[in-house]
Amino acid sequence: MEALIKVKNIRKVYQMGEERIIALDDVSLDIQKGEVVCFLGVSGSGKSTFLNMVAGLEKPTKGEIIIGGIPIHTLNEENVTLFRQKNIGFIFQSYHLLPMFTAIENVSLPLIFRGVEKKKRDNMASEMLAAVGLAGYENRKPSQMSGGQQQRVGIARALVGNPKIIFADEPTGNLDSHTSKEVIEIMMSKVREHNITLILVTHDKDVSCYADRIVTIQDGNILSIENNKISKGV
Ligand code: ADP
Ligand code: MG
């Protein structure tokens, strides 16, 4: 079967005055539908750069990114935004919730962009909050929730639009190890249940254990790819 995501020889060079920073040197990888792939590497190794390019948030200096047959590196801003809204969910290290919005309003946001009407949005968002264990928290604002609860809201928001692919950049980076495990297990169970392709970026080996494949990245290149047969797939 053809890979859902094909990354071909991508390179990203940032020019900072006189200095050229090679954030990604030459990275190629195919990712199958429903696969959970973890990018593991120390800070500065190029993980976020990789993720941002595959998600169409940045253009590579060289190379191709083809998702479901669409060469997303060639799309203009408007089309890439539409592509993201339709196909992609994001989970961030610092949650990126809107502080003045309640949990249900935060989860509803992707549906507003899709033009779903209010009543349906509220139903879908509250169902998704319940699915991540937050029934009863609909009207809490981010400041009234713990870090783990805020990240569950982040997961619900990523899932609510029924994306084909989720990108998670250090999703447990701000959480203690116990909460981190809870959050990762909720994320994994939802991803498996809906056969979503997950690209997960972390510096934490314990988090990488949940993936089907672990791609170790160092200085902008893939150092190794390990099939994780004992993935803690929930
Ligand atoms: P990681 O997510 O693995 O910590 P990044 O992908 O953020 O690493 O960064 C890889 C390298 O590229 C680092 O040296 C970083 O300083 C550099 N870099 C990232 N983004 C930019 C940018 N917008 N401008 C200049 N350099 C950048
Ligand atoms: Mg990063």
Burial of 173 (0-12, 13-18, 19+ CB in 10 A): middle
CA 102 from chain centre, in angstroms, equals 22
Tens-digit pLDDT profile for residues 147-205: 999 999 999 999 999 999 999 999 999 999 999 999 999 999 999 999 999 999 999 99
pTM (predicted TM-score): 0.94
Virtual torsion, Cα 170, 171, 172, 178, nearest 10 deg:
-150
Tens-digit pLDDT profile for residues 55-100: 999 999 999 999 999 999 999 999 999 999 999 999 999 999 999 9
Give the domain 5-227 fold. Rossmann fold (3.40.50)
Judged by its nearest atom, the ligand closest to the C-alpha of residue 168 is 2
The atom number, within ligand 1, closest to the CA of 51 reads: 6
DSSP code of residue 143: G
Our mutation pick for probing the ligand 1 site, out of 49, 93, 223, counting the most ligand atoms within 8 A of Cβ, is 49
The ligand 1 site (C-beta within 6 Å) comprises 14, 16, 21, 23, 41, 43-49
φ, ψ of residue 70 in degrees (nearest 5): -100, 125
> What's the rounded mean pLDDT across residues 29-40?
97
